A and B are shown apart, each in its own frame.
Chain A
Amino acid sequence: EDQVTQSPEALRLQEGESSSLNCSYTVSGLRGLFWYRQDPGKGPEFLFTLYSAGEEKEKERLKATLTKKESFLHITAPKPEDSATYLCAVQARDSNYQLIWGAGTKLIIKP
Chain B
Amino acid sequence: DSGVTQTPKHLITATGQRVTLRCSPRSGDLSVYWYQQSLDQGLQFLIQYYNGEERAKGNILERFSAQQFPDLHSELNLSSLELGDSALYFCASSAQGGFGEKLFFGSGTQLSVL
Interface size on A, residues (CB 8 A): 21
| Shortest beta-carbon distance from B109 to chain A in Å | 11
Q: Which residues of A contact B45 (CB under 8 A)?
A: 98-99, 101
Q: How far is the CA of A103 from the CA of B40 in the complex (A)?
A: 9
| Shortest beta-carbon distance from B96 to chain A in Å | 9
Q: How far is the CA of A42 from the CA of B48 in the complex (A)?
A: 20
The answer to whether A42 touches B108, judged by C-beta atoms less than 8 angstroms apart, is: yes
Interface size on B, residues (CB 8 A): 24
The answer to whether A44 touches B97, judged by C-beta atoms less than 8 angstroms apart, is: no
The answer to whether B108 touches A41, judged by C-beta atoms less than 8 angstroms apart, is: yes
Interfacial residues of chain A within 35-75, with CB under 8 A of chain B in the complex: 41-46, 49, 51
Q: How far is the CA of A51 from the CA of B45 in the complex (A)?
A: 22
Minimum CB distance partner of A92 in chain B: B99
Q: Which residues of A contact B16 (CB under 8 A)?
A: none
| Shortest beta-carbon distance from A31 to chain B in Å | 5
The answer to whether A98 touches B58, judged by C-beta atoms less than 8 angstroms apart, is: yes
The answer to whether A97 touches B102, judged by C-beta atoms less than 8 angstroms apart, is: no
Q: Which residues of B contact A34 (CB under 8 A)?
A: 102
The answer to whether A101 touches B100, judged by C-beta atoms less than 8 angstroms apart, is: no
Question: Interface on A for B, CB 8 Å cutoff?
Answer: 31-32, 34, 41-46, 49, 51, 87, 91, 96-99, 101-104
Question: Interface on B for A, CB 8 Å cutoff?
Answer: 2, 4, 42-43, 45, 48, 55-56, 58, 88, 90, 92, 97-100, 102-108, 110
